[in-house]
Structure 1
């Protein structure tokens, strides 16, 4: 792997992150103030709240953005902590949509329809339409739609650049040896969490892992703990956004962290216990973009289903972590009422 491959990789990553940012901003602008009203109305019970979190995150393509919004809503007194927990669970499922879109690049076949389903085929068309709309349209709503199209196209060009840049690594024995380290669950989880914490997006870090899987050197055993760690790393954004907010807003960020840590511990424990007794044959098999998307979805879906009945327990954990000082609980409630009046 030459210096030019490294530069292409860094450039591809920059395009990928920029495209995701542009697309996310366009989607949020298009939704406008409607999201706040939707959050306010549809969080009456945990299942509704989870479905809402799933839908909103699938649209704006970022669980971090959804959780940051929740921190803001709880801080403003628009939403209760109990309602926000269900939305967080749904947000973790919704963020898996990006991985599925990126996995389309691995479709194989010679037919026109299959080739057109590949993001590398339809991205240039979206880019042309988006740029034309940005250039000639004066309507703000159309410009937001154009930003979404251009952002997605840039994201996919970045993904292709990264995949092309890391392709030579499949012939480097040292690269395969490094990946073997991540078969250790602790190292894998830490690596995934650190990468996601740095780039502030689990969708982006899963995309990077999918790009690396094109080398054919990543096994299921090394990919699994990294994927779980990526879910923990994405909590950093919400934790940073909660600095200087009310106690309840801080608790939203803490619940997001606990949800992913507990889910990771449960998933790893069950998986490795079953592997010890049954012996999964696929553990040492090569993993691709589609398999990464499947694991990402199964983890988030199963964790949400398992922890949904324990919303009160997560809420209690948050209260034990972020404690009220004596007499401070009433003060927070009064402040929230004044914010609502404002």
Structure 2
């Protein structure tokens, strides 16, 4: 990819130029070392133009209809004058590294809206279904003038709690009538969710959705007494319940703004982000270290065949990577 001058990125993003925004996102997603410094310069210069959006993470059990829901929610928001960015994290293949990247086809109405921008990104195996550069992409979208940023994650799992570290509000979509209502969601998700919404509450499924809502409310009251998330129902297909759902999202975020909790949350997220980048950098440096690279194949074989314990092998890797302490 041929880079643009930093001024072109900064001015283009601030002007809301979609073509420049797309290239800026590609720049921050790049793994090429020569792009890193330019990407950080662009982000640093754009920081004063960030922080003014509603950041909402959306997860859900398989088959819950996340993309259809986001399409309906996005259309509702656009209809009320919002500029909406959707960061759709697609599952990457563990074999080829490729991803589906089909969200634009699943959000057909929203994809045609001038006030909306959908950016699919491969998760590349990142914990929590959040692409490693999702945070930077979110900042770029804010600087481009989007006042609502929706982060759609890969799917529910214990690691999905990672998304809570970069959004203001975390919404989990669930289904009714799929067996044990509490089996499809992990405890870790329940502990960080700000809202549980039972989707597909339409037709013959309305009664089952209402029953599921009661079950979740009872379970969450026991698990998080005094801090229960909102539990509601909606139908993305019919568009019902979407307006009340978003009103609840706005109400919770507004309360956090007024109390100072939102500012504190974002500050903590920034520090967490810093350490996440440190950890990523250390892992990359360890893997690239020539002494480690020479050791790893033999050590892995020794662990597989029982000649070495994982702990002793890990200590050898660290010993090759870290400088020896002088006595």
TM-score (norm 2): 0.31
Higher relative contact order (CA 8 A, sep 6+): 1
Structure that is richer in helix per residue: 1
